[in-house]
Structure 1
Amino acid sequence: MNRTIPNGKSHASSALPAAVAGLQQVPQLIPAHPTSAGGKALPPSKMKKPPADKDSEEYRQRRERNNLAVKKSRMRSKQKALDTQQRVNELKEENERLEAKIKLLSKELSVLKDLFLEHAHNLADNVQPPAGAGGSSPAPNSTSANGQ
């Protein structure tokens, strides 16, 4: 490896080891378990356990606990699915009720709009400017003629 120094001349790297010779050497670290990634410790669940004797009491107890845990987990999963389905059904029913209410309220709004417009037209027909007055004010007894 050649280095260029500021004056433009190349300088051989063979001089470097002589300059660094006074530094202490650091030994290379070798991992205790070469198969583990990056020297990280494995969690107990990932460590290889010696195979248990299938006839041992400990093995039978572990299998029994595991079987119960699996059964419990599956029951919880089924219950959660049933609860979710029940909630879906409840929401569908509520949605149908709300849609029916929307229809009813829309019809009621339409009827009320029609009544309002009819009433507004009746008022407009009864309130006419006097023929000879030329003013824009209504006749003094125009509302009493309507009966209201």
Structure 2
Amino acid sequence: MSKTSQQNPTAETNGVSVIYTQGSASGLQQVPQLVPVSPGGGGKASPPSKQGKKNSIVDRNSDEYRQRRERNNMAVKKSRLKSKQKAQDTLQRVNQLKEENERLEAKIKLLTKELSVLKDLFLEHAHNFTDSVQPLGAESTAATPDGSEP
């Protein structure tokens, strides 16, 4: 059997309404459900009211207004100087890193050349060493110093 639901408008209090559903054999059941109190339904929260600022008319000649403007101007100058200093520091760091990168690349080139020279020397030495040493099989068939065979 399908469940049917009906809203009971008289059962609504403090944002809670009761919905009656048809059960299979037990009859009607009461199921509490939260519903918005306002007729428009839920939705986004409204921003805080700014009526306090709207009601007070700002006199541009007042001392309070002048002080607030002066503090704001000082804060803006401070913020802009801080931003400019940060940009200069970043540019200086970029230049330092570029110089360090150039030095490291030059060192890589130098070490690569040195490695190449050392490899060549090693290969030349290894080649000369293998030419001067006789294979093991040739040594055993060679004659002894007295001319006799072993």
| Aligned partner letter, 1:71 | K
Count of residue pairs the alignment pairs up = 111
What secondary structure does 2:45 align onto?
helix
Matched, 1:80 2:86: yes
Q: Report the aligned-residue RMSD.
A: 3.1
| Aligned partner letter, 1:38 | A
- In 2, distance between residues paired with 1:73 and 1:104? 47
Unaligned runs of 5+ in 1: 1-5, 31-36, 136-148
Unaligned runs of 5+ in 2: 16-36, 143-150
With normalisation by structure 1, the TM-score equals 0.62
With normalisation by structure 2, the TM-score equals 0.62
Alpha-carbon deviations, 1:45-103, whole Å to 9, x = none? xx351331000000000000000000000000000000000000000000001001101
| Aligned partner letter, 1:92 | K
Higher relative contact order (CA 8 A, sep 6+): 2
- Between structures 1 and 2, the one with greater strand share: 2
Show the counterpart of 1:65: 71
What percentage of residue pairs aligned between the two structures are identical?
59
Aligned residue among 133, 141, 145 for 2:140: 133
What secondary structure does 1:38 align onto?
coil
Point out 4+ residue stretches in structure 1 off by more than 2 angstroms. 23-30, 37-42, 129-135
